[in-house]
Structure 1
Amino acid sequence: MSKRIATLERELDVRLFTRTARGVELTLDGQAFLPHARNIVTGVDRAITAIRPGSRALRIDVLGLRSAQAVVLHDYWRSHPQTDLDVVTLRVNDPRLVVTAVQAGDIDASFRSVTDPGTLPRDVQMIHAFDSPLELLVGPRHPLASARTLTPSQLRRHRIWVPGIAPRSEWAEFYDQLATDFDLRIDAAGPHFGDEVLLDILADSADVATLVGSRDRYIWPTNHDLRRIPIVNPTLAYPLFLILPRANPHPGLRAVINHLGSLAPLPETVWRPSWATTARDGDDRPRSDLRRRR
């Protein structure tokens, strides 16, 4: 330490310390230098903390801040307000890019799905988070607007407009299977100008409907009089998974996963896409691995 101080004094061309009968004391230059030195050390410590897993905020990617993932994560944070949580939205549609971000440590986890779990890298795992049941969202003039519940067969021949279905996205494959299995007319034509424009169109239309998750957050003017109608027999479930590292996941993920496991289950009669069933069947080992590391 004495040699380092001497080197620093030579570089600064000042004396920082002086020896007295009582020991070593700061010179006037040393007193002026000390608060700046402390700020430098504090800044370095904060920089390291900001990137070190376990000491920095838990960083989780959600598809959108109005999505079911964000709503459930917000419910968790409300019951655990001491959690240092950083909610982000990666602006990518291809889940493989999300996997790369998890591998790189840019995020700790993401509410996304890889529809072919066999293609996941060995250092990344995907565990089932929860299922989001779908509802039909329509305006007051739509023929189905007065229904309290609907079955998938009742949706046939009605135009279900879902703008923004991106190629190679998990939701593109979801809607492809949904349309095939229930002979539905799902239309993704046209650009997506945002939820507000979509809600305006639904309010004015007598023949356009869309599908939303039961937990998705949508807000519209009172005069829109839109209706959210649950779909039953079977319940159409959009499966949500959590992608995270297999080794050394952020310690904060344990409590989040426990919260997801406490969510109320769906009814027994549920439709899920085939890839979701495959992923759930292979879900036990990654989940138990994570719990053993508690």
Structure 2
Amino acid sequence: MHMNDKIPLIREKALWMRRTAFAMVHRAQLGHPGGDFSAIDILATLYFGVMRFDPKRPDWPDRDRFVMSKGHATGALYTALCAAGYFPEDWLATYMQPRSLLNGHPNRNYLPGIETNTGPLGHGFPVATGIAIAGQLAGAGYRTFVLTGDGEQQEGSNWEAAMVAGHRRLSNLTLIIDRNRLQQGAGTEETSGLDPLDKRYDAFGFDVTEVDGHDPAALLAVLGAAPGSKPRCVIANTTKGKGVSFMENVASWHHGVPNDAQFEQAMKELV
């Protein structure tokens, strides 16, 4: 299939993921919908346009690996895994319920398709770097993709991982930064400035590309490209709460939950 032929499917899945994730948060009255919605187009592109995987064989050795380092964005991750066929859709109705397999942070012991437990920020990128090192040492053909938040970049463990990845020239590793410029309570640049983020990763030995994180064609072109000779950093410029007017670029929707009227309005907008 030509890359452009995948775009309608990616858009269809992303819309379903937004509607479904918001319904999950509304039902549970818990979650992080703002960051879910900034990341969903990225996940839809990875799962339905880029990565090699087999949901019937979650431990297939040659699968591409994905690590959701911004582990609070489970609405995005769980809907992606469900849409990709890892578990039945009716499981989503249990989101955040007592003893549910779909709890607030992803747990590899509960659900297939999760490579590592995440939640405490700054852990996923180092683990993904280790996964990529293992692939490099084994001469394996899989690629490792990891999605971090931009506020998460303030964790020092990311920069230790970047130093190692650049030194080892992990061409099988792609770091994607969800650059929505908002974190819990405030903007990233007000909290601890990250710019110039591109030059920082370039200095650590990464091939750096900036892309519209809501454009499947642009994401496909970057994420689907053959690996080069360095690890790749993709700065995906996104909008927190993308697709719902009252959520977009509003910091309080980092962990806000909708009332019934807001839910109905969002469903009218997400078409």
Same-fold call, TM cutoff 0.5: no
Q: Give the structure with the higher percent helix.
A: 2
Q: Rg: which structure is higher?
A: 1
Q: Give the structure with the higher percent strand.
A: 1
